């Protein structure tokens, strides 16, 4: 499948990335079932690797999920991360900042929620909202946004140099697919509670968001934490791609079963 | 199966509760497999109920796990809660208090970690450590311990009156079973990293811990948050009992799919 990883410094056009892509899997029932079977295996592997991450407690993994409304951030967490031991996995949902949070720099509340060693941390939305909504609605000047890009890079370098691997995913859906998903929420009485008028409002700024995402991803892809564009029109392919990236990231840590405490002589140990 | 729920004000003798109990399930392979199949169904149900808890965000569930070392607190979380969407489930492990935490009352750090509406919170050890270790090692006077019992009850009443259902489990293993489990950690090189000499030290105080648990559970069982003694020598039975209690607690909340936002006229809604 095509590699949608953004190299540091590279410009990027989302219009050149197909949100409908399903790699080598056919866009039919067979392709979907095949993809789901592979994802299942990856998730089992993920569970196993997470146990080792937790046992070692020397490294951490941070997964950042961004994307338009209805792009599937919640669904990704549900389908890829259910099965992981919740003791080693913390999901953080960033809401509108509180008055106290606004009294600090924009990374203050984010830093507090960075995953501890041994943990997988998942940011459902993140500090990137502070350079997206703010830009689209003209709440901050270009100069401040640019400054924030640099602050974000320095912040992520700090985490990375301290042992955290960072995976940043942009869930890429088409405007038509968003329409389908919003209509499903409207037409299915069981899903209406999820519907928010704000989603319709933000949809009007689709083009501006695309531009803001492109600029942001080009500016904040660093060697240790590049952005990945995930084709997300097909939920099953989105889950596969993300599970695959997570498994590879954990495998690359090359963690083993931790060694026994060196000062204990296990051969002479007696339990009364 | 026998009901090991402690009624408020009731004295309790752990020696009268069989840690080896497996209810109506035979203590053999058949019994184990049967029990596991039931547990699997309960866990599927739990996942579904947790979705509804999250969607409604009107109630919360707090699960408190206590028990001797090796009694299976981590194992319970892994086997009962893996499968739950981690977005709606937060596990808190309380470690030795930091200097900052010691500068406050003992419930200060605990209150901060209480689950928000919509969440399942799991305390792996809890504020109850502050009336157990402290009592066994004579770090606090009986008067202060008694005061803490009352403070705990008031604290839990507050949570309960604010919509949180509290389930408190004492994982009950025998002293022999602990010996088996410690020996397994010593003899299996893959498990030695889990071994801590402190566990052997605390084992010497087994009788004192039993007495401290008995006193504590009698003193802090309240109508809205009674203690449950879980026979835990057989891990599969322990998982079954806890999954069963959690499912019942969530079902008793009688949560439905949330209603759609009342001010929206869904029939005239158009998406451009």
Please report the number of interchain residue pairs, chain A to chain B, with beta-carbon separation below 8 angstroms. 107
**How confident is the model over A148-164, as pLDDT tens digits?**
999 999 999 999 999 99
- What per-residue confidence (pLDDT) applies to B11? 86
- What per-residue confidence (pLDDT) applies to B267? 85
Residues A87-96, mean pLDDT to the nearest whole number: 96
Report domain extents, chain B.
14-251
- What per-residue confidence (pLDDT) applies to A140? 96
Check whether A120 has a pLDDT greater than 70. Answer: yes
Check whether B2 has a pLDDT greater than 70. Answer: no
**What does residue B190 show for φ and ψ, rounded to 5 degrees?**
-70, -15
Dihedral in degrees, nearest 10, Cα atoms A145, A72, A54, B134: 90
Contact status, residue B124 vs residue B65, Cβ threshold 8 Å: yes
Strand ordering across the sheet containing B227-231? B89-93, B120-124, B60-67, B164-172, B227-231
Alpha helix locations (H) across A84-174? 99-102, 108-112, 133-136, 142-161
- Tell me how close the Cα of B250 comes to any Cα of chain A, in angstroms: 18
Check whether A131 has a pLDDT greater than 60. Answer: yes
B139's tokens: 């770090």
**How confident is the model over B81-116, as pLDDT tens digits?**
988 999 999 999 999 999 999 999 999 999 999 999
Residues B49-58, mean pLDDT to the nearest whole number: 96
The percentage of residues in chain B with a pLDDT greater than 90, rounded to a whole number, is: 88
Name the band, by pLDDT with cuts 50, 70 and 90, for residue A2. Answer: low
Residues B35-43, mean pLDDT to the nearest whole number: 97
**How confident is the model over B169-178, as pLDDT tens digits?**
999 999 999 9
Does the domain made of A14-252 have the CATH classification 3.40.50.300?
Answer: yes
Binding-site residues on chain B for chain A (CB distance < 8 A)? 47, 55, 74, 77-78, 81-87, 89-91, 93, 122, 124, 179, 182-183, 186, 189-190, 192-193, 195-197, 200, 203-204, 257-261, 264, 266, 269, 271-272
Strand ordering across the sheet containing A60-67? A89-93, A120-124, A60-67, A164-172, A227-231
Name the band, by pLDDT with cuts 50, 70 and 90, for residue B1. Answer: very low
- What per-residue confidence (pLDDT) applies to B268? 86
Does the domain made of B14-251 have the CATH classification 3.40.50.300?
Answer: yes
Identify which of B90, B183, B269 has the shortest CB distance to residue A271.
Answer: B183
**What does residue B40 show for φ and ψ, rounded to 5 degrees?**
-60, -45
- What per-residue confidence (pLDDT) applies to A1? 46
Q: What ipTM was predicted for this assembly?
A: 0.93
**How confident is the model over A221-231, as pLDDT tens digits?**
999 999 999 99
Contact status, residue B31 vs residue B37, Cβ threshold 8 Å: no
Residues A233-237, mean pLDDT to the nearest whole number: 98
Residues in chain B within 8 Å Cβ distance of A269: 186, 200
Contact yes or no for B93 and A87 at CB 8 A: yes
**What does residue A20 show for φ and ψ, rounded to 5 degrees?**
-95, 0
B98's tokens: 């930091």
Identify which of B84, B189, B259 has the shortest CB distance to residue A193.
Answer: B259
Residues B136-159, mean pLDDT to the nearest whole number: 97
Q: Which of B51, B80, B85 to mutate to test the interface with A (most CBs of A within 10 A)?
A: B85
Residues A121-139, mean pLDDT to the nearest whole number: 96
Check whether B228 has a pLDDT greater than 70. Answer: yes
- Tell me how close the Cα of A8 comes to any Cα of chain B, in angstroms: 31
Beta partners for A64?
A: A123, A168
**How confident is the model over B65-80, as pLDDT tens digits?**
999 999 999 999 999 9
What is the helix (H) or strand (E) element at residue A230, kind and residue range? strand A227-231
Name the band, by pLDDT with cuts 50, 70 and 90, for residue A272. Answer: confident
**What does residue A166 show for φ and ψ, rounded to 5 degrees?**
-115, 125
Contact yes or no for A81 and B84 at CB 8 A: no
Q: Which 8-state DSSP code applies to residue A132?
A: T
- What per-residue confidence (pLDDT) applies to B262? 87
- What per-residue confidence (pLDDT) applies to B58? 97
Q: A204 — alpha (psi -120 to 50), left (phi > 0) or beta?
A: alpha
Contact yes or no for B85 and A78 at CB 8 A: yes
From residue B70, how far is each of A56, A118, B165 by CA, in Å?
19, 20, 26
The whole-chain average pLDDT of chain B stands at 95
Check whether B23 has a pLDDT greater than 50. Answer: yes
Rounded Cα distance, A61 and A74, in Å: 18
- What per-residue confidence (pLDDT) applies to A34? 98
Residues B202-211, mean pLDDT to the nearest whole number: 97
B15-23 CB contacts, 8 Å cutoff, 24+ apart: B15/B210, B17/B172, B17/B229, B17/B231, B18/B231, B19/B172, B19/B173, B19/B174, B19/B177, B19/B231, B19/B232, B19/B233, B20/B174, B20/B231, B20/B233, B20/B234, B21/B231, B21/B237, B22/B231, B22/B234, B22/B237, B23/B237, B23/B241
Q: Which of B62, B212, B75 is CA-nearest to residue B126?
A: B62
């Amino acid at each position: 499948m095509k590699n949608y990883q953004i190299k540091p410094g590279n410009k990027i056009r989302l219009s050149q990335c197909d949100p409908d892509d399903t790699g080598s899997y056919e866009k039919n029932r067979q392709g979907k079932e095949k993809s789901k079977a592979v994802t299942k295996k990856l998730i089992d592997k993920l569970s196993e690797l997470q146990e080792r991450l937790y046992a070692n407690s020397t490294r951490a993994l941070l997964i950042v999920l961004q994307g338009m409304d209805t792009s599937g951030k919640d669904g990704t967490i549900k389908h890829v991360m259910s099965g992981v031991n919740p003791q080693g996995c913390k999901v953080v949902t960033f809401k509108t900042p509180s008055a106290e949070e606004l009294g600090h720099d924009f990374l203050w509340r984010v830093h507090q929620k960075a995953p501890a060693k041994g943990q997988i941390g998942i940011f459902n939305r993140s500090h990137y909202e502070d350079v997206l909504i703010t830009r689209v609605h003209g709440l901050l000047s270009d100069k401040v946004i640019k400054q924030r890009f640099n602050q974000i890079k320095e912040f992520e370098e700090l985490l990375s140099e301290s042992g955290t691997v960072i995976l940043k995913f942009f869930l890429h859906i088409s405007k038509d697919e968003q329409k389908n998903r919003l209509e499903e929420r409207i037409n299915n009485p069981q899903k209406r509670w999820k519907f928010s008028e704000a989603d319709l409002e933000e949809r009007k700024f689709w083009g501006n968001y695309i531009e803001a995402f492109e600029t942001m991803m080009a500016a904040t892809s660093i060697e240790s934490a590049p952005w990945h564009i995930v084709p997300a029109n097909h939920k099953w392919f989105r889950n596969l791609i993300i599970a695959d990236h997570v498994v590879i990231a954990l495998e690359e840590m090359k963690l083993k079963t931790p060694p026994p405490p060196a000062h204990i002589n296990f051969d002479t140990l007696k339990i009364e």
